[in-house]
Structure 1
């Protein structure tokens, strides 16, 4: 290392983006060039991924957290973190990343059938080659044409599962075109089928799909008009064959919804010339995904069906939280769906074997501490102060001259707060701070200071960090919903930032966790543990998390654990400023939970209701209850022992991907301000959707903006079409 003074980097926010940026900047390869300090609201890292241990070491999450098999960047840094941590498996049960994450292939959709009943549409998705985050750069960079060809392969495979009379299959096989060799022969075969209209049997339709697949997958140049006419002829033939069948056969209806959606995607790709447009999927981001599918021939049944509905539910894609206003940018919607279904490795979903705080943020904290990073907890950012523009020299870029914080609490003795607790050998985050470490901690606990609440403005003192003295560079890694509150000067002086805040909207979410003495089979769910979406609000997504029972410390373990989440309808901004607002929203979610358990869960768990027709409240477990001793009371009163949350804090709100909004996002690579970059899933990071992968990509980009590392080509998916 040289004798130069290290560059002091202040990272504000310890969620996925912030800790990723810290991880990249403190790599040994930098030889100590960057001295990193993370400033964090409250007592724990995690942001929207935070979790804590409550009574009986219950895991209490911000929401339902699953990692997807295409999260290449997130898994890569996570695997490197565990490798560097070198935990001893003899003393720590989660020592390696494979201890922390488990493949989760069984997934489903809640399907509202024409018979006016809910049913489960389940599937075990096959493992794909490799594991997410495998070292090296062997992850393929898919082109849009390759995605379209893969979509046709899927359509062809689904059509092949449909039975047809043997006589039709035989006659169709006789008329199917012969194999093709040269590009000219391929196009000639397609032209011949169009000319003679020979799409009478499924065998011919299947062969036609193969020809289209070959054309998109192998030809560098092809006549788009021919492909579009050929596609429309094939789609018409399929609609004629499926039209009557789907009315009475749920299996065929579900198959048809996927086929119809993929045909619309392929038609849209041809009509909008996505394969040759240099903007790639971004070219259609001004359209809503449903709107774009409808423009390209998808039926109303498909557009409102379980598959499309689940794509919206999983990304909380409802403007203002209103389920009557589903909106997501079509380009990013397609990019996300294609990567999710065609680019996953190992498994479609990966479940964590403990809370996300324990599995993700505790290991990052430990590694970063070993590397010399500092953490300043209980620091609430109040203002990003810009240098007076009148003092800037000619040609000098504007810069941040100070970061103004409220210090929420002081640590006894002035040292660093020690945030982790030990749960049978596993470092974990508690659900509440350790008041014993805080000055006047007993008083703070007695008075109920809520360190993570935007509405609790109490503080121990103010603190101002000054450029050149306390920091050189800053990474703003707070949640997107917090920007209007901490960047008032930026918004006042910079029209781009004002427009971003106006256009890149956020919504609150709600989550529920219940622990039960009855197993899932006793509740009427007779399939394997599952993740299911597309269900009815107020909780459209459910995951069976019963595997976490052994991670907690109950006197007797729960037989089942269920997590639910959904968007929470927003309220006017003027109502959010009232001090009582968070408690009102917490009570609102409680009412939603009770209604959901009484009225809706029976469609998934047929045995969840008792003889009276009410939910079986007696199956809910209370961590404070002893065997044979009444704890939570009877009936609905027992629900008070469960965990639910209204995620209404500005930092907790989920960032939407609204049509027409993505062009207003600001990139971590933006250098408008000399010493400031941004990080978070609200930034322009190459995958502009609220998720762990987007946040990690953004954190890596912020580190690149400062240090030049990692190289852009190492950030998987950043250059995705």
Structure 2
């Protein structure tokens, strides 16, 4: 054991980023050098990924949570966590990470057909080599040229598929492209084809696409003018060849939209010289993704089509939550799409086999407790205060002097709050605190103290932590939307923090979960369980979560479970300040759910509406009521038995990647303040988009800023200088 003094680290926030930082700083190789305390609002960890067990042990989430197959950092840590936890599979049904996550390859997009109807566009994405987070199996870092070459390979496959569809036969598997000789011969072949315009058949176009694929994949110096002229000629020929095939066939139209989008991406990569620009994708982050596609030749049909719309829906990418204002930085949009489709392992999506709190945050909590991490629940951060400038010595950097908290509740007897409950052998988070552990718990429950609400300012006391007495270092891992409220002096004093607050915007989201007495097949959905996006507002994304029925404790299990989510239109800040605001937004989401079920759900589930029209409210199952009481509740009043959420708390808002704003993000590696680092998916972490992977990357960077570990090259996908 090291004889050095322990360094006290205060981590504020128990979401993905904060828990990651705690996990990294308490690794055995640090030999106990860092003594970590996590300060958490309310009674549970998880941040936007928190979940809780409600009536009948039903799982209640903030929203729909799926992990993607390219979440390399997140999967590495969760695999390590389960390995260290060493649960006994004989006594715990989720003992290993493979029990917690299963591959989920079947996905879809809802497409508005020119025939004037919604129809699903379904795809079963093939399994990719390896498993996410697998140690010792790192792929070499892909360059933009690699991504564009793989995109052209996909175009060749899609063209052959379109041709086969028209001919009524199985599509061919594209052969390896020819022309992989020396660079001079390759460029000569392209120049000759340009000169004589030999693109009269689809076969010739496919061969020409292969030449470009080889050029992007092998040339070290790119003759961009030749490549761009060749690409434009091939694209024009391809459009001419496919135009006569498309007609009104939805499948061919969809194939063309993908082809058209990829051609625009490749053209943009060449026109904007992304292959040689040291900034890479960041060079085009001032453009919106749709705007950039349009500049590079994508058709309006493609730009407004189902695939592009679904990419925006999936990341809530609407400024102010207004679906008429789709906005996402083009560079980050491309980075995310390329990594998602070309870097996933095992499966495109991985679906959790219980609530995210149960399969992610409960295991991390147990491991961190064993390592000696202390958790201070019911601590609401009120202010981060810096030392005043006049008290700094010569050459001394500013630092955090105090952390001011409201203590929302105290544990009876002064002990440590025990947050988990047992659900048939699985440690889980409850949907409400255990009031019996709290001082005056009966009164707090009776008065309805809302510990996770920004608007409920009631408290049992206050607490001030002081540097060198209570902490040495601070990891600020609260949600990005909370920064203006908890860092007011810092924002007023530091121009960069002010710019970050002004430019890095967030939006509220909404979610709804339904437990139904009829199966999806009985409701009219004839396909396997699916994740689908690109649908109509107010709930554009749906996942069939029926597999969770066995995880809950219903007397009669639901025949199906459905999760929905979407962005929630924002309101002016002055309106958000009113105490009644959260209840009003909760009611707003309820009304949205009623309208959605009455008007739109039949496009997904044709038999969910009765003969007279309108949703069959009797399908909804009530976890609390007896069968007799449930039968007496009629119409839309039965929705009260379900679960919905308006995620309007500042810390629950989703951080956007708006064009022109990513440069204002703060990095966890920034050392302006001597004892402060930041962590969260709102930071500049190498993947600047709201998701689990970004939060984990940011948490690892914060740990590196403090301890030098993990090494930057170990943080997968972090493109450091």
Equivalent residue runs for 1:241-390 within 5 Å: 241-390=241-390
**Aligned: 1:705 with 2:705:** yes
Higher mean alpha-carbon deviation, 176-185 vs 128-137, is at: 176-185
Whole-Å separation in 1 of the counterparts to 2:713 and 2:634? 59
Whole-Å separation in 1 of the counterparts to 2:178 and 2:522? 55
Alignment check: 8 A CA contact 2:499 2:664 kept: yes
Alignment check: 8 A CA contact 1:141 1:720 kept: no
Whole-Å separation in 1 of the counterparts to 2:599 and 2:718? 44
Instruction: Look up the SS of the partner of 2:181 in the other structure.
Output: coil
Instruction: Look up the SS of the partner of 2:405 in the other structure.
Output: strand
**Aligned: 1:47 with 2:47:** yes
Higher mean alpha-carbon deviation, 241-250 vs 538-547, is at: 241-250
Alignment check: 8 A CA contact 2:622 2:630 kept: no
Alignment check: 8 A CA contact 2:178 2:207 kept: no
2:139 aligns with 139
Instruction: Look up the SS of the partner of 2:41 in the other structure.
Output: coil
1:630 aligns with 630
Q: Deviations over 1:304-349 (max 9, x none)?
A: 0011001100000000000000000000000000000000000000
User: How much has 1:177 moved relative to structure 2?
Assistant: 11
Instruction: Look up the SS of the partner of 1:684 in the other structure.
Output: coil
C-alpha change, 1:165 and 1:483, in structure 2 (3 Å) is closer
C-alpha change, 1:720 and 1:669, in structure 2 (3 Å) is closer
Whole-Å separation in 2 of the counterparts to 1:468 and 1:494? 24
User: How much has 1:187 moved relative to structure 2?
Assistant: 1.1
Alignment check: 8 A CA contact 1:419 1:429 kept: yes
1:552 aligns with 552
Higher mean alpha-carbon deviation, 711-720 vs 336-345, is at: 711-720
C-alpha change, 1:192 and 1:605, in structure 2 (3 Å) is same
2:173 aligns with none
1:173 aligns with none
1:600 aligns with 600
User: How much has 1:164 moved relative to structure 2?
Assistant: 7.1
C-alpha change, 1:621 and 1:651, in structure 2 (3 Å) is same
C-alpha change, 1:328 and 1:177, in structure 2 (3 Å) is closer
Instruction: Look up the SS of the partner of 1:700 in the other structure.
Output: helix
Instruction: Look up the SS of the partner of 1:255 in the other structure.
Output: helix
**Aligned: 1:470 with 2:475:** no
Q: Deviations over 1:339-381 (max 9, x none)?
A: 0000000000000000000000000000000000000000000
Q: Deviations over 1:420-473 (max 9, x none)?
A: 000000000000000000000000000000000000000000100000000000
Q: Deviations over 1:164-201 (max 9, x none)?
A: 7999x9xxxxxx99745222111111111111111111
Equivalent residue runs for 1:21-60 within 5 Å: 21-60=21-60
Alignment check: 8 A CA contact 1:624 1:631 kept: no
User: How much has 1:160 moved relative to structure 2?
Assistant: 1.0
Whole-Å separation in 2 of the counterparts to 1:220 and 1:199? 27
Equivalent residue runs for 1:205-220 within 5 Å: 205-220=205-220
1:84 aligns with 84
2:584 aligns with 584
C-alpha change, 1:577 and 1:417, in structure 2 (3 Å) is same
User: How much has 1:242 moved relative to structure 2?
Assistant: 2.3
C-alpha change, 1:233 and 1:400, in structure 2 (3 Å) is same
Whole-Å separation in 2 of the counterparts to 1:700 and 1:178? 43
1:163 aligns with 163
Equivalent residue runs for 1:495-644 within 5 Å: 495-630=495-630, 633-644=633-644
For this pair of structures, how many residues does the alignment match?
Answer: 714
Whole-Å separation in 2 of the counterparts to 1:258 and 1:636? 40
User: How much has 1:241 moved relative to structure 2?
Assistant: 2.1
C-alpha change, 1:709 and 1:164, in structure 2 (3 Å) is closer
User: How much has 1:515 moved relative to structure 2?
Assistant: 0.3
Whole-Å separation in 2 of the counterparts to 1:367 and 1:545? 28
Whole-Å separation in 2 of the counterparts to 1:620 and 1:178? 58
C-alpha change, 1:631 and 1:276, in structure 2 (3 Å) is same
Alignment check: 8 A CA contact 1:56 1:554 kept: yes
1:151 aligns with 151
1:114 aligns with 114
User: How much has 1:626 moved relative to structure 2?
Assistant: 2.7
Uncovered stretches (5+) of structure 2, i.e. residues with no partner: 170-175
Instruction: Look up the SS of the partner of 1:381 in the other structure.
Output: strand
Alignment check: 8 A CA contact 1:665 1:682 kept: yes
Whole-Å separation in 1 of the counterparts to 2:559 and 2:283? 49
C-alpha change, 1:460 and 1:629, in structure 2 (3 Å) is closer
User: How much has 1:243 moved relative to structure 2?
Assistant: 2.4
1:454 aligns with 454
Alignment check: 8 A CA contact 1:103 1:346 kept: yes
C-alpha change, 1:558 and 1:164, in structure 2 (3 Å) is closer
Whole-Å separation in 1 of the counterparts to 2:256 and 2:700? 40
User: How much has 1:4 moved relative to structure 2?
Assistant: 2.2
Whole-Å separation in 1 of the counterparts to 2:432 and 2:222? 62
Alignment check: 8 A CA contact 1:22 1:36 kept: yes
C-alpha change, 1:57 and 1:400, in structure 2 (3 Å) is same
Uncovered stretches (5+) of structure 1, i.e. residues with no partner: 170-175
Whole-Å separation in 1 of the counterparts to 2:152 and 2:543? 31
Whole-Å separation in 2 of the counterparts to 1:522 and 1:278? 55
Alignment check: 8 A CA contact 2:667 2:678 kept: yes
1:62 aligns with 62
Instruction: Look up the SS of the partner of 1:162 in the other structure.
Output: helix
Q: Deviations over 1:401-438 (max 9, x none)?
A: 00000000000111110000000000000000000000
Whole-Å separation in 2 of the counterparts to 1:414 and 1:164? 72
Higher mean alpha-carbon deviation, 479-488 vs 627-636, is at: 627-636
Q: Deviations over 1:135-167 (max 9, x none)?
A: 126232100000000000000110011227999
Alignment check: 8 A CA contact 2:14 2:477 kept: yes
2:172 aligns with none
User: How much has 1:625 moved relative to structure 2?
Assistant: 2.6
C-alpha change, 1:626 and 1:178, in structure 2 (3 Å) is closer
Whole-Å separation in 2 of the counterparts to 1:321 and 1:244? 39
User: How much has 1:686 moved relative to structure 2?
Assistant: 0.1
Alignment check: 8 A CA contact 1:632 1:640 kept: no
**Aligned: 1:408 with 2:408:** yes
Whole-Å separation in 2 of the counterparts to 1:177 and 1:443? 73
Q: Deviations over 1:651-693 (max 9, x none)?
A: 0000000000000000000000000000000000000000000
Whole-Å separation in 1 of the counterparts to 2:451 and 2:396? 38
1:236 aligns with 236
Whole-Å separation in 2 of the counterparts to 1:136 and 1:26? 23
1:172 aligns with none
Alignment check: 8 A CA contact 1:543 1:562 kept: yes
Equivalent residue runs for 1:634-713 within 5 Å: 634-713=634-713
Whole-Å separation in 1 of the counterparts to 2:521 and 2:640? 24
